[in-house]
Amino acid sequence: MSRPMTFRPAGASTTALARTPVGRRALVRGAALLVPSLGGGAACASKAADRRKRRRGDGLRDRIHETVTAELPKGPGVTVLAARGSELLYGAGFGLADRAHRTRCARETVYDIASNTKQFTAAAVLKLEAQGRLGVDDRIGDLLPGLPPDKRPLTVHQLLTHTSGLPEFLPDRYGDDYAKLSRAQLVAATAHTRLHSRPGRTFRYSNLGYSLLAAIVEVRSGLSYERYLARHLLGPARLDRTGHVLPRWRTSDIAVEYDERGRPAGRPNTHPWAPDGPYWNLRGNGGLLSTAEDLFRWHLALRGDDVLPAAARRKLFARHVSEKGDEGPAYGYGWALGRGAGGHPVASHTGQSQIGGSYSEIARSVDGGAFACVATNFSTKKDGWELVDHGLARRLVDLIRTS
């Protein structure tokens, strides 16, 4: 456990902040401005209300910036973004995405979001359910051939909620995240892996379970995992800088990872990968690359029906299983569920790469009223900081909700 530390504010490179709503609501509100005023008094009152709203927004942006700069240590490359509903309030890059070329972090910097991949895998499963191709109560033995009797009764729901009894990873003999493991080899290895608890009874975080979900996505859709995401989730949500190999990134767009001693460890997509993305120890449970701007677009998509119908979104954010007792945090489908300031429901998740350089944190109020994300390429410094300890995205969501 790391000791508490006081950090000096880091210098920020902040791109221009959007002061108007983003997405379809922006078009609706913008169109309203074209309607001629029916009375001068009403127009003046409207302008005065707009000025008050802008002042409140500016004050909140200042408080967000003060919170961010007070929390961040000097050294890591970080991008932070925060929004109230569909209104982007704050977006800033701190430090360097690539020290050798002095490339600064920005809102469009591409990071490995690690275990935040799980929310996209869960959404893909729910999309397949909405399309009638599977059900969350289906047994995985009916979806993945070759499983032994003790694994066949496991359900999709149990994989989604980490209650299948499967371990966090396959045994060490199957290698690390970058071992050349195929989908067929993943399923075969799972068949020989011991369950660690009785299915459906205990929350036990399992990356292996989410890799099996990615395999189910491929089998039931007939597409590769990334192509299914791109066609049915990322494309409709306009996340054109999220994926494995399909986005047209420039190399300089992708942040270089740095280990705990500050040594460069390469870009996430320069580690050993298959031609269509990570190998199967990582696929579906981590390894997705994205930007803060795209994660904001994902938040917007989850506020409406463009990607998932309302019934699917309710399942995504339902408190399906308690992690630590009935009153503690719970887990939905790819999201952890808790309570924020004032008791409002908050969904969040974190992710950290095996190397330790990449780390991401996403938090949003379940009703979509507030959102924040943090992504970095240098999360842990030996005998220094651990950004995972800060919970900055959750703090920003609380700040937005209480302002």
Residue 265 has pLDDT above 90, yes or no: yes
Q: Residue 28: pLDDT above 60?
A: no
Percent of the chain surpassing pLDDT 70: 85
Counting every residue written for the chain, the total comes to: 403
Rounded Cα distance, 210 and 120, in Å = 10
The pLDDT of residue 47 is 60
* Average confidence score pLDDT of the chain: 88
What is residue 234's DSSP assignment?
I
Percent of the chain with pLDDT over 90: 80
Instruction: Count CB neighbours of 263 within 10 A.
Output: 9
Q: What is the pLDDT of residue 1?
A: 39
pLDDT at 45: 59
Residue-level pLDDT at 261: 94
- As a whole number, mean pLDDT of residues 34-56 equals 52
Residue at 27 is within a domain? no
Query: 306-340, pLDDT tens digit by residue?
Result: 999 999 999 999 999 998 766 678 999 999 999 99
Whether the Cβ atoms of residue 146 and residue 158 lie closer than 8 Å to each other: no
**48 domain residue, yes or no:** no
Contacts of 179 (CB under 8 A, 6+ apart): 272, 279, 281
Query: Which pLDDT belongs to residue 124?
Result: 99
Three-class SS of residue 219? helix
Helices (H) and strands (E) in the chain, counts: 10, 13
> In the predicted model, what is the mean pLDDT of residues 283-308?
97
Q: Write the DSSP string, 279-304.
A: -TTTBTTB--EE-HHHHHHHHHHTTS
Q: What is the pLDDT of residues 122-167, one digit of tens each?
A: 999 999 999 999 999 999 999 999 999 999 999 999 999 999 999 9
pLDDT in tens, 48-78: 555 555 656 689 999 999 999 999 998 899 9
| 46 torsion bin: left (phi>0), alpha (psi -120 to 50), beta (else) | alpha
**Rounded to two decimals, what is the model's pTM?**
0.86
pLDDT score of 17 more than 90: no
Q: Please tell me the distance from the alpha carbon of residue 380 to that of residue 364, in angstroms, as a whole number.
A: 24
Is 194 among the domain residues? yes
* Res 285 pLDDT > 70: yes
* 185 band by pLDDT with thresholds 50, 70 and 90: very high
Residue 3 domain-assigned (yes or no): no
Helix (H) or strand (E) holding 351: strand 345-352
Distance, in Å, from the CA atom of 33 to the CA atom of 149, rounded to the nearest integer, reads 64
Please check the confidence at residue 2 and state whether its pLDDT lies above 70: no
Return d(Cα 279, Cα 373) in angstroms, integer: 26
In a domain, 232, yes or no: yes
Q: What count of Cα atoms within 13 Å lies in the side-chain half-sphere of residue 175?
A: 13
Per the domain annotation, does 51 fall within a domain?
no
Does residue 134 lie in a domain region?
yes
- Residue 272 sits in which domain range? 77-401
Q: CA of 192: how far to CAs of 166, 213, 321, 359, in Å?
A: 11, 18, 27, 31
Residue 9 has pLDDT above 70, yes or no: no
Q: Between these two residues, 14 and 105, which has the higher pLDDT value?
A: 105
Q: Decide if 190 contacts 140 (C-beta within 8 A).
A: no
* 65 domain-assigned: no
CATH code for the domain in which residue 168 is found: 3.40.710.10
Tell me what pLDDT residue 323 has. 84
Total domains in the fold of the chain: 1
pLDDT band at 355 (very low <50, low <70, confident <90, very high): confident
